[in-house]
Amino acid sequence: DTGVSQDPRHKITKRGQNVTFRCDPISEHNRLYWYRQTLGQGPEFLTYFQNEAQLEKSRLLSDRFSAERPKGSFSTLEIQRTEQGDSAMYLCASSLVVEWGAKNIQYFGAGTRLSVL
């Protein structure tokens, strides 16, 4: 088990460009989460998937953001027309939850740090 992997680790882009991040969860984890963390703050929830279904999206996730988990394994987060305010660390987490209300330990990846110039 290699843990949660995120790629790339760092991304520098110019304002207005599109970027895509990838997350590979721990194998057999059915839940996958995306969070965003800005400097000096705790992570903020963006969205999560149960298998391939996207079940909840935060108000933080504007229409420029889209996330997919097409086969219930890896996930991608795309940001279109990036803005300087999108600069942050984007964290992915996964967990295995076998029934609603059960213990839900989320394991985090190292994150993708996005800088929009």
- Give me the numbers of helices (H) and strands (E) for the chain, helices first please: 0, 11
Nearer to other proteins, 25 or 109 (CB): 109
By CB under 8 A, which span of 22-30, 64-72, 73-81, 104-112 interacts with other proteins?
104-112
CB of 81 to other proteins, least distance (A): 26
Cα–Cα distance measured from residue 3 to residue 112, given in angstroms and rounded to the nearest whole number? 15
Bridge partner residues of 89 (DSSP): 37, 113
Q: CA 105: distance to chain centroid? A: 16
According to CB under 8 A, which residues from 36 to 65 bind other proteins?
40-45, 48, 55-56, 58
Largest distance between two CA atoms of the chain = 43
Binding site for other proteins (CB under 8 A): 4, 6, 31, 33, 35, 40-45, 48, 55-56, 58, 91, 93, 97, 100-111, 113
